[in-house]
Amino acid sequence: MKLQRFKEIALDGTVRQNPTFRLVLGTCPTLALTTAAISCLGMGAAVTFVLICSNIIISLLRNIIPDKVRIPCFIVIIATFVTLVRMFMEAFLPDLYDVLGLFLPLIVVNCIILGRAESFASHNPVLDSACDGLFMGLGFTCAITLMAIVREVLGSGKLFGITLWEGFSIAFFANQAGAFLTFALFIAIFNVCYNAVERKLKHRAAHKAVEAENKAAAEEA
């Protein structure tokens, strides 16, 4: 894989097509689990593992799976890796398994994973697909963990389960309404910053193009 291609995939997964703040996918775990940062790290790790593994297998089989049954095949592949994650967590991380609860099997129908299988892995080579799964997973993990840090600190005065202070908390951030407000604020801030950077980069690129044209014209003269 060329370095430029790697950079493009990394930027797409973490920033330009961030599944949480740009594409607004996987909202169920985003809203339900962001009361505790440690839970979000666990969910993010599980989703990242399933993304990488399912992308690799789907990319390998992209020329074999018939178009008419591709979605059911994708779901079977994804469900296989989700089952492996559930079995691993139940055996070695029972506390995290209990916290994630119903949201672990729901990874099977997570729009992020199925969407990347359909839009990327089924059309690209294995290494590109593996990198796409990795950076999409990292983008999702970072997004929900950042939200959880804010909600956990403000809602309970804790961070990763460690008490930061006693006697002060804003219960609003620990309930459903706080989840929606925090999500909305993060989306707004992320997109305002993203659009500002994009405008600046486009302006810089246009300025460099004009300078190059002027230089070429001066050399010809």
Q: What is the pLDDT of residues 161-202, one digit of tens each?
A: 888 888 788 889 989 899 999 999 999 999 999 999 999 988
Phi and psi at 162, nearest 5°, equal -95, 125
Q: What is the pLDDT of residues 79-111, one digit of tens each?
A: 999 999 999 999 999 999 998 888 888 888 888
Task: Please check the confidence at residue 131 and state whether its pLDDT lies above 80.
Answer: yes
Which of 44, 43, 76, 42 lies closest to 57, judged by CA?
76
In degrees, to the nearest 5, what angle opens at C-alpha 161 toward C-alphas 156 and 166?
Answer: 45
**Domain boundaries defined on the chain:** 3-220
Asked whether the whole model's pTM tops 0.75, one would answer yes
- Structure-token pair, residue 195: 């659009």
User: Which neighbouring-strand residues pair with 159?
Assistant: 162
